[in-house]
Structure 1
Amino acid sequence: HGGKAPICIRLNPHIMAGGNYQISTGHIDSKFGISIHQLRHIERIIETTGLKVNGLHMHTGSDILNVDVFLRGVDILFESTKYFPDLEFIDLGSGFKVPMAPTENSTDIEALGKDLSKRFNSFCKDYGRELELWFEPGKFLVSEAGTFLSKVNVIKQTTATVFAGIDSGFNHLIRPMFYSSYHHIINASNPNGIERIYTVSGYICETDNFAWDRKINEIKEGDILAFQNAGAYGFQMASNYNSRLRPPEVLIMQGKDYLIRKREELEENLRNQIILDL
C-alpha cells in the first residue's frame, strides 16, 4: 500500500440504542469504538503515522425500532467526516429490529431508506464526492429463517407453576438467559390445543428457563416445541457446556429437507482431550 495502510475506524456516537443494555453498543460507557470526543487525538495519530482512513463505521446496538435513533447516529457520523478527507465508504452497521413476539413490529426500513437517501445524497455533495454506504443487516436477514425444535421430556406440576422440561438448555439457545430475549414458542405437536400456562425449562444444572409463565397450547410429554427466530445467534452461540452435544441443522427449501450439519457425537466432544500417563 505504499506505506499508507487503509483503515476503517469505528466511532462511538454516545447514543443509547438497542433492545436492552446488553445489546446497546454505542453509549458512552460502551467498550466499542472510539469516542467522538477523541477525534482530535485520531487526527494527530493519522498525521504522525501515515495511516489512511478510508472508512468510518458505527454500530449503536441491536433491536432498534425507532428510525430516529439511526438518523441521529447518521448525523453524528456525517459531521465527523470533516476529520477524514480520504473516505471511500461509511458503514452504519446494523441493529434493525426483528419482531420476536407476534405483537411486535420491525424497523420501518422503507421510511429509514427514504430519509437516509436524502441525507446521504446531500452529505456527498457537501463532502465533494460520492461515497459508498454500507450496512450489516445479518440478524435482520436470517433471524426469522430459523426455528429450533426440542422434545418435551417431562411435565412437572409445582405449587407455583407447571414446568415443561425439554431435551435442551442454554447450551443450544442461550439468548433467553443471556439477553432476556423473547422467543415465541409453538407446540408443533398440538398447535390448536387449549392454551395453558407453562414455564419452559432446560436440562442444564443452572436455571435455564426459556420462558416464564407463557401461554402455550397444551403440552404433553413427547411433544415437539418450536422456538421461532432462532436463525441468528442460535447455533452460533451454542456450546458443549455440561458435556452436551450440539444438534443437527436441516435446511428446508422448496418443500424439500436437506441435512446441512450432522448431530454431534460424544467422540467429537472428547477428541481434543489429552490423556496423561502420570
Structure 2
Amino acid sequence: MIDFRALADKYGTPLYVYDFNHITERYEQLKKAFTGRKSLIAYAVKANSNLSVVSHLADLGAGADCVSIGEVQRALMSGVPKYRIIFSGVGKRDDEIEEALKADILLLNLESEAEMSRVETIAERLGVRARISIRVNPNIDPKTHPYISTGLHENKFGVDIETAKRMYIHANNSEHLEPVGIHFHIGSQLTELEPIREASMIVADLVRSLLAIRIELKFFDVGGGLGIVYDDETTIEPYDYAQAILGTLHGLDLTVICEPGRFMVGDAGWFLTRVLYEKVNEGKRFVIVDGAMNDLLRPSLYNAWHKVEVFGKSGNESEADIVGPVCESGDFFAKDRPLPPTEHDDLVVVHSAGAYGFVMASNYNTRPRPAEVALVEGRDRCIRQRETFEDLVRLEKMCL
C-alpha cells in the first residue's frame, strides 16, 4: 500500500508518482513472452521521457523508440546503447536526420517517399549508408480512439503496400540506403487481438514478397499499443500478443522489435492533487483541486476516463465534477463521479497516470509543471523537481 498522503506532504502537489518495481515487472512479462525468438523491447520514450524512467528500462536491457532528436538524445543520455535506438516519426527535419546518422543509431524508420529522398541526400553528403526501415500502413481498424488510431489510410502514418514495395526496391539499389527492417503500428490502447494479428500477417506477407526479389530484412517491428486498464477494459495478455505475431512469421528469420510505451508505465503511475474547496451551482457539485489540465491533459484532450479516489475517505457519495483552476471549461479530470464529501486539503489520487501525463504537461496560465517521484524498492526519490516561476521565464527577454 502506497502512502500517497506522506508523499504529498513531502513533495507537495500536484505530483506524479511512479512505481519502478511495476515497470520492471511489465518489461519482464513482455520480454518473456517473446522467448524463443530474437527480440528487442524498444521502449516508446514519448509515453514518459523522464531520464530516470528511460535509464531504469535501459538497465533492464530495453532499447528506445524515439520520435524526435530530443528523445534520441534522452535515450543516449540515459544509457541506451546506440544500436538499440530507433528514430521514428512522420516529419524529421534535415538537422535531425543528420544528427541521427552521425550518432549511428540502429535505424531510421521512414514514413514517405519524400522522407526517404531527404535521408538519401543527407547520407550521400555525409558519406554514409543509412540503415532504414519503412512504416507500412496495413489499413486495419484498431478499434481504438480516433486520435490514437494510426493504421488506416485516413491516418497520416506510414505508406501503403505498393508504395512500400517501390521504396524497398529503390533503397536496395541505392548506394546510400540500407533497408534492414519493416515496421507497422496500428494504434494505441489496443484491447483486441485480431487487428494486431491481421496487420502482422499483411506485413509478414510483404516481407516474403521482398525476399522473393532478394531483399532480405533483419527486423520486424510490430510497434506498440498494448492497452492497460483505465476503467473496466479487458486487456491483451503479453503471451497471447506475442503468439499472435510469431504465428505470422513462419519461415522468416527476423528479430522482432516491440515498442511498448503505455503498457510499460501507464498503470505504474499516479497523479496526486489536493482539494482546494467545493462549490455547488444550482445542484451541480464541483470539487476544485490544485491540479489542472496543464498538468494532466488526457481527460480534456481525449475525454479519457481515469479512476479517481479521495484518499482515505468513503461513504455518503454524490456525483461531482473534479475540476482545476485553469481558465477553461475543458479543465477537468472527471465528470459526474460518485465522491464522498471533501474538505480543504483532502487528497485526490488519479490512477493510471504514468503514460502521457507529465510528458504532455504545459505551462498554460503560467503554471509550473509538477514534480515527479520514483518509488524504488520501497524508497522514494525525486526524479524531477517542481518548476518555479523563475524556470518559466528564464529564456524570455523584455523588449525595451
Shift of 1:8: 1.0
- Given the two structures, how large is their TM-score scaled by the length of structure 2? 0.64
- Among candidates 33, 39, 44, match of residue 158 of structure 2: 33
Instruction: Compute the displacement of 1:216 (Å).
Output: 2.5
1:244 maps to 367
Of the candidates 109, 116, 127, which is equivalent to residue 245 of structure 2? 116
How far residue 160 of structure 1 moved from its aligned partner, in angstroms, is: 4.9
How many residue pairs get aligned? The number is 269
Q: Does 1:171 align with 2:301?
A: no
Task: Point out the structure with max Rg over C-alpha.
Answer: 1
State how far apart, in whole Å, the 2-side matches of 1:116 and 1:15 are: 15
Q: Cα offset for 1:48?
A: 5.3
% identical equivalent positions: 32
Matched, 1:77 2:77: no
For structure 1, which segment, 146-155 or 9-18, has the greater mean C-alpha deviation from structure 2 after superposition?
9-18
Which of 326, 331, 346 is equivalent to 1:204?
326
The residue correspondences of 1:61-210 to structure 2 (distance < 5 A) are 61-81=187-207, 82-83=209-210, 85-101=215-231, 103-120=232-249, 122-124=250-252, 130-190=253-313, 192-207=314-329, 208-210=331-333
Q: CA deviation at 1:256?
A: 2.1
2:174 maps to which of 49, 54, 58? 49
Q: Which amino acid letter does the alignment assign opposite residue 178 of structure 1?
A: L
How many angstroms apart in 2 are the aligned matches of 1:44 and 1:111? Answer: 34
Aligned residue type for 1:38: T
Q: Return 5+ residue gaps in structure 2 as ranges.
A: 1-122
Query: TM-score scaled by structure 1?
Result: 0.90
Q: In the alignment, does 2:150 pair up with 1:20?
A: no
Shift of 1:219: 2.3
User: SS in structure 2 opposite 1:258?
Assistant: strand
5+ residue gaps, structure 1: 125-129
Structure 1 pair 16/118, CA: closer, same or farther in 2 (3 Å)?
A: closer
Q: In structure 2, which of residues 344, 348, 359 is the aligned counterpart of residue 221 of structure 1?
A: 344
Report the Cα distance in structure 2 between the residues aligned to 1:18 and 1:63, rounded to whole angstroms: 9
Structure 2 residue matching 1:41: 3-state secondary structure: helix
Higher relative contact order (CA 8 A, sep 6+): 2
| Larger helix share, 1 or 2 | 2
Q: Deviations over 1:196-245 (max 9, x none)?
A: 21111111111112111012333223211000011111111111111101
Pick aligned residue for 1:11 from 132, 136, 159: 136
2:306 and 2:351 in contact (8 A); partners too: yes
Q: CA deviation at 1:172?
A: 0.3
Name the CA distance, whole Å, in 1 between partners of 2:142 and 2:244: 19
Aligned-pair RMSD on alpha carbons?
Answer: 1.9
